[in-house]
Homo-oligomer: A and B are copies of this chain.
Amino acid sequence: MKDVHAMAPTAGRLDLRRVGVSGIKKPLSIQRPDRVVTISASFSVDVDLPASRKGSDLSRNAELLAEVVDSTATSPVESLESACQAIARELLMRHQYATQAQVEASGTYFRSRGISERRRSFEDYKILAGARATRDSNGGEPELHRIIGGEAVGMTACPCAMETAREILESEFPLLKDPSFAKFPIISHNQRNRTRLLFEVHPGVNIEVDRILDAIEAAQSSPTYAILKRRDEAQVVLDAHRNPKFVEDVMRDLLSGVVGRFADLPDETLVIVETVSEESIHKYDVTASHRMRLGELRQPAPA
């Protein structure tokens, strides 16, 4: 049979950056300390393509995903990112014409969470992972990077509306200025906040996704929970209003938290944060994003 992909392109002879497949869904089993968890993950993989070839051998991508991911049903892997890294590395082996390979994966990740031990239940988070392999032009080992991240939904209460409401209420309810009300929580607007934290690291580096999700939840006004009885519900509301945050605060608190929580990661680790607050007082969202090396983050703040 004619190998149409290996033929010369009929159109302009151009190198192409990324050619691949996306939206391949697979069950991936991960060995956790206490049990095996199975994630329903979605994968995208691609490689570059030289000007000399008409097409990329895409069936190899699907074969490779099947080999690496399907086998986890019987032999669970260490992590989603280690599976991504194995795929990225092997993509370069199977696409000899390619100089780099990318893999991205995401899935729902469940954690047992609760405002108290009696209210625990499985709640949904996102796990995000990826890998990049660059061929060594001297025939040596490819250069590898892995990405590991997560997304958690929590709650924010707005610090600005709270201050303005306080001023209005103090004029309407003069007793509110009594010193005993110093720490009284004032109404504001609150919203679903959706925050992502990702790290790009060297191949040998492992990061538990739970550490990432804990860091995010610690930076929101309050985590949220599936099961809240009356008193619990009021507790979350009190917690959030005693800890009001803009998206800017969520981001800065998260980045500060990363310095303290991830002291084991090297300076060259790339830190990527995205946060979205689905405003309750607007029909639109408020967003912030940032990326920097962990080394920069560790420098003392300018005076």
Q: Which of A75-83, A93-101, A196-204, A278-286 sits within the interface?
A: A278-286
Known interface pairs A231-B1, A287-B46; A185-B187 also in contact (CB < 8 Å): yes
Shortest Cβ distance from residue A1 to the other chain B in the assembled complex, whole angstroms: 5
Taken together as a complex, chains A and B put the C-alpha atoms of A238 and B251 apart, in Å, by 27
From the candidates B14, B66, B191, B240, name the one contacting A255 in the complex (CB within 8 A).
B14
List chain B residues, Cβ under 8 A from A175: 175, 178, 180-181
The answer for the CA separation of A10 and B155 in the assembled complex, in Å, is: 18
Instruction: For residue A105, give the distance in angstroms from its CB to the closest CB of chain B.
Output: 13
The stretch among A17-25, A132-140, A142-150, A208-216 that forms the contact with chain B is A17-25
Do B59 and A249 touch (CB < 8 A)? no
Q: Quick one: copies of this chain in the complex? A: 4
Which chain A residues in 186-245 approach chain B with CB under 8 Å?
186-192, 222, 224-231, 233-234, 236-238, 240-241
How distant is A57 from chain B, measured CB to nearest CB, in Å? 10
> How many A residues touch B, CB cutoff 8 Å?
125
The minimal Cβ–Cβ distance linking A160 to chain B, given in whole angstroms, is: 4
Partner of A160, one of B62, B230, B259: B230
**A127 CA to B49 CA, complexed, in Å:** 29
Residues 119-140 of A contacting B (Cβ, < 8 Å): 120-124
Q: Tell me the complex Cα distance, A276–B289, Å.
A: 27
Q: In the assembled complex, how far is the CB of residue A178 from the closest CB belonging to chain B, in whole angstroms?
A: 6
Interface status of A261 (Cβ within 8 A of chain B): no
Pick from B23, B180, B288: contact of A173, CB under 8 Å:
B180
Q: A191 to B188, Cβ gap below 8 A?
A: no
C-alpha gap A117/B35 in the complex (Å): 31
User: Which B residues touch A18, using CB under 8 A?
Assistant: 287-290
For the complex, what is the distance from the CA of A21 to the CA of B155, rounded to whole Å? 18
A66 touches which of B24, B65, B122, B240 (Cβ 8 Å): B122
| Residue from B121, B168, B289, B290 in contact with A234 in the complex, judged by beta carbons closer than 8 Å | B168
Contacts of A19 in B (CB 8 A): 247-248, 287-288
Q: Which residue of B lies closest to A221 (CB)?
A: B280
Say whether A90 faces chain B, with CB atoms less than 8 Å apart.
no
Check A33 for interface membership: any CB of B closer than 8 A.
Answer: no
**Are B225 and A288 closer than 8 Å at their CB atoms?**
no
A192 touches B189 (CB 8 A): no
Bitwise interface map of A from 11 to 39 toward B, beta carbon under 8 Å scored 1, else 0: 11110111111111111000000010111
A269 on interface, CB distance cutoff 8 Å: no
User: Nearest chain B CB to A47's CB is how many angstroms away?
Assistant: 11
- Name the B residues within 8 Å of A253 (CB-CB): 11-12
Docked CA distance A16–B271 (Å): 13
- Closest 8 A-B residue pairs measured CB to CB? A66-B121, A164-B234, A25-B124, A11-B252, A12-B256, A13-B301, A4-B160, A11-B253
- Can you spell out 7 A-B residue pairs with CB atoms less than 8 angstroms apart? A23-B283, A25-B110, A25-B283, A39-B40, A59-B233, A62-B284, A224-B282
